[in-house]
Copies of this chain bind each other. A is one copy, B any other.
Amino acid sequence: MTAKLVRSQGVTAPAGFRAAGIAAGIKASGALDLALVLNEGPDHTAAGVFTRNQVQAAPVLWSRQVLTTGRLRAVVLNSGGANACTGPLGFQDTHATAEAVAAALSDWGSETGAIEVAVCSTGLIGDRLPMDKVLAGVAEVVHEMAGGLSGGEEAARAIMTTDTVPKQVALHQPDNWTVGAMAKGAGMMAPALATMLCVLTTDAVAGSEALDTALRRAAARTFDRLDIDGSCSTNDTVLLLASGASEIAPTQEQLDDAVLQVCDDLCAQLQADAEGVTKRIAITVTGAPTEDDALTAARLLARDSLVKTALFGSDPNWGRVLAAVGMVPFTIDPNRITVAFNGQPTFADGVGAPGARDVDLSGADIDVSVDLGLGAGQATVRTTDLSHAYVEENSAYSS
Contact = CB atoms under 8 A, between A and B. Distances in A.
A323 B395 contact: no
Interface stretch (A9-17, A96-104, A229-237): A229-237
A50 interface: no
Nearest to A234: B323
Given A320-B125, A334-B55, A306 B396 contact: no
Given A232-B323, A320-B125, A87 B54 contact: no
Contacts of A87: 335, 349-351
Interface in A253-267: none
Given A85-B347, A126-B319, A306 B188 contact: yes
Interface of A is mostly: loop
Interface in A28-73: 52-56
Interface string A220-260: 00000000011111100000000000000000000000000
A324 interface: yes
B391 A334 contact: no
Interface stretch (A149-157, A211-219, A309-317): A309-317
B351 A85 contact: yes
Contacts of A309: 390-391, 394-395
Interface stretch (A108-116, A169-177, A286-294, A325-333): A325-333
Contact of A304 (B231, B306, B323): B231
A232 B328 CA distance: 11
Contact of A332 (B54, B90, B231, B396): B54
Which of A124, A230, A331 is packed against the most chain B CB atoms within 10 Å? Answer: A230
A350 to B, nearest CB: 4
Interface residues of A, number: 66
B395 A391 contact: no
Given A86-B351, A126-B352, A334-B85, A53 B323 contact: yes
Contacts of A331: 54
Nearest to A317: B398
Contacts of A328: 54
Closest CB pairs A-B (n = 10): A125-B319, A313-B395, A55-B326, A309-B394, A53-B326, A87-B350, A87-B351, A126-B319, A54-B326, A229-B305
Interface of A: 52-56, 82, 84-90, 124-127, 187-188, 229-234, 303-306, 309-310, 312-313, 315, 317-320, 322-328, 331-332, 334-335, 347, 349-352, 356-357, 386-388, 390-392, 394-396, 398
22 contacts: A54-B328, A55-B322, A55-B323, A55-B326, A56-B334, A87-B351, A88-B350, A90-B351, A126-B322, A126-B352, A229-B306, A230-B305, A231-B304, A232-B327, A234-B326, A309-B395, A312-B391, A317-B398, A386-B395, A387-B391, A387-B395, A390-B391
